Structure 1
Amino acid sequence: MNTLISRKAHNFTASAVINGKDIVQNFTLEQFHGSKYVLLFFYPKDFTFVCPTEIYAFQENIKSFEMRNVQIIAVSTDTEQSHWAWLQMPKEKGGIDGVTFPIVSDINKTISHNYGVLSGNWICNPPYEEGGQSSTEPRELIAYRGLFLIDKKGIIRHLLINDFPLGRNVHEAIRMIDALQYYEKSGEVCPANWTKGKKAMKATHRGIVDYYNK
């Protein structure tokens, strides 16, 4: 699979639910280019189990993202009506009431496909074995847990893709935003386990010597 790192993020126009209640028909990614960083994340399905824990984790840290000028956008292959219904359901009943960032409907699977996170496979007129059983088992077309950090120029600078059972760490996403913004401001690169406020380094031989001699 060709990596999307350092490439222009695929724009999309799709239906979405914004502010936890309003359905819009022409939500685009490019509306944020030039003004905001974007944290675009994909999740498999509405009304599931790991997904709401991730969605609430992003919502609980939304002020941390806002202070870094980052727009969070969620995407799944469910319809906008499904997103809306889930957003009206309280947390205690498995819903995501109170979530305010946009949730995009990728019902045609094109966004997930373009970002390389679409699970499953299309099967047209599959072959059949004796007894009427299909010899090829189709798998559901839903998104893996993909996460993409997109800079203000619309370039993908970080990505992470998890399998369905593995929830993401929101604080790691914030750490990567801090690292990108620090690099953009200072020109220094961020070594392993770097966190905001720690020493970075110049991308030179002298820089790494200085780093290890700190």
Structure 2
Amino acid sequence: MLKISEVCCEDEYDSMKNYEKTPVLMKRAPFWSGAAVQNAKLVNISMKDFINKYMVLIFYPYDFTIVCPSELIQFSDRFEEFQDLDSELIAVSTDSQYTHLAWTTTPRQNGGLGGMNIPILSDKNHRISKRYGVLDEELGVPHKAIFIIDNKQILRHVSTSDMAISRSVDEVLRVIKACQFVDKYGNVCPMRSPCDDDTCESKNTKDND
């Protein structure tokens, strides 16, 4: 089990060079912390709050837009499926925590998010977006990106996309299941849905032979 003392800290990351490049897979994920909105309240959260859990960082460009809310609402509405996998979702943009608060307290029929089940982190100083290599310097906003970090805070999956392209909740769940399958059984995850009954039974049988 990972200890808090083993988590990369702010000072350690500030001393590193070239952290504006996309982080390297299978290495320790860049540390992050900041002000956020959670359960309609302003809070401070950090990577250390999610120790020994899988984390999904969902970078998006703007609050109060058409595409971003539909994606975030889908992730929020299905948060229990992620919790069943011992995983947590954190949305991130360069809007302030106050803008996040206004967005989450605006009813959905009026263009807001309404009640959300996941925290929304403010990266107003662009530090997190730079560390994860997703900041559009000209616009001052992050590209759409998904980072999956495992329970040892190792970066396991990265996907970035054009701002106009939507993202799939099912695909993110599939990748987490695949990572956890590999964590448990090692080697390469089958192409089929990870850890379905046939796959797991087959693997267990081989292990017991």
TM bucket (normalised to shorter chain) is 0.7 to 0.9
2:60 alignment partner, one of 43, 50, 67:
43
Normalized per residue, the structure richer in helix is 2
CA contact (8 A) 1:182 1:188 kept: no
1: CA distance between counterparts of 2:22 and 2:134? 12
CA deviations 1:55-107 (Å, max 9, x no partner) are 01101211100110101001000000000000001111111012121100000
How many residue pairs align between the two structures? 182
2: CA distance between counterparts of 1:81 and 1:10? 25
Contiguous gaps of at least 5 residues in structure 2:
1-20
> Could you tell me which amino acid in structure 1 is paired with residue 96 of structure 2?
T
Correspondence 1:89-104 to 2 at 5 A: 89-104=106-121
Who wins on radius of gyration, i.e. which is larger? 1
Hey, what does 1:150 align to over in structure 2?
149
CA deviations 1:142-165 (Å, max 9, x no partner) are 011110110111100011101110
2: CA distance between counterparts of 1:196 and 1:37? 17
Correspondence 1:1-80 to 2 at 5 A: 3-19=23-39, 21-24=40-43, 26-33=44-51, 35-80=52-97
Contiguous gaps of at least 5 residues in structure 1:
121-138, 208-214
The CA RMSD over aligned residues, in Å, is 1.9
SS in 1 for 2:135: coil
1:145/1:188 CA distance change after superposition, 3 Å: same
2: CA distance between counterparts of 1:40 and 1:171? 15
- List structure 1 runs of 4+ shifted beyond 3 angstroms: 191-196, 198-202
| 1:140 shift after superposition | 1.1
CA contact (8 A) 1:40 1:149 kept: yes
